[in-house]
Amino acid sequence: MRNVTLIKDKHRKQFKIPSEKDWGELAEQVAAGLEPGHIVAVSGPLGAGKTTFVQALAKALGIKKNIQSPTFALMRSYPIPKRDELKRLLHVDAYRIEDERDLLPLDLDQELADGQTALVLEWPEKIKNWIDRKPSIQINIA
Ligand SMILES: Nc1ncnc2c1ncn2[C@@H]1O[C@H](COP(=O)(O)OP(=O)(O)O)[C@@H](O)[C@H]1O
Ligand SMILES: [Mg+2]
């Protein structure tokens, strides 16, 4: 069981997710409102279910590929089928980032400005200076 808070445009919504198979409804809600340039920041301790949520979000977006944690790759990119504008989901896991300068090679600002990309981000607190300047949809898992 996980208790999850969804924060979007200063509105908070609570969800109870009984098991790892139950992220679908929350994922559908997030996917439905997801637009190019959006950032979904997923917070919670190690083992909270962040990657499990990202897998559900990808499924809700029609992504068939199996989402794996990009802890070592840092970033992975998935094409989104069947959406008019949103064509690409980037998945970043910032767990291993020690210095926010490590983010620079990813060029996230530019990637997000292409009019067809959204980002889902694990461990947003690791890149606090960057994320604090960005309006984000927050998912807090406890
Ligand atoms: N709602 C849930 N209730 C109970 N266990 C869950 C839930 N969601 C995911 N899990 C389990 O938590 C574990 C860690 O999930 P993971 O998504 O890898 O966490 P994180 O990315 O936050 O480190 C997995 O074994 C997964 O099956
Ligand atoms: Mg993870």
| Residue 70: pLDDT over 80 | no
Give the model's pLDDT for residue 13. 97
Pick the residue whose CA is nearest to atom 23 on ligand 1: 47
| Ligand 1 pocket residue status of 91, Cβ below 6 Å | no
Q: Which of 138, 140, 142 is nearest to 10 (CA)?
A: 138
* Beta-bridge partners for 7: 12, 138
Q: Which of 52, 93, 96 to mutate to test the pocket of ligand 1 (most atoms within 8 A of CB)?
A: 52
**pLDDT tens by residue, 33-57:** 999 999 999 999 999 999 999 999 9
Ligand closest to Cα of 44 equals: 1
Q: Name the residues around ion ligand 2, CB cutoff 5 A.
A: 50-51, 69
Q: What whole-number distance in Å separates Cα of residue 90 and Cα of residue 103?
A: 14
Phi/psi region, residue 31 (left: phi>0; alpha: psi -120 to 50; beta: rest), is alpha
Q: Which one-letter amino acid corresponds to residue 104? A: L
Residue 68 has pLDDT above 90, yes or no: no
Which CATH class for the 2-141 domain? alpha beta
Per-residue pLDDT of 82-113, as tens digits, reads: 899 999 999 999 999 999 999 999 999 999 99
Residue-wise pLDDT for 104-141, tens only, equals 999 999 999 999 999 999 999 999 999 999 999 999 99
Whole-number pLDDT of residue 72: 74
Question: What pLDDT is recorded for position 82?
Answer: 84
Nearest to 113 by CA among 54, 3, 42, 36: 36
Question: Residues, the chain, total?
Answer: 142
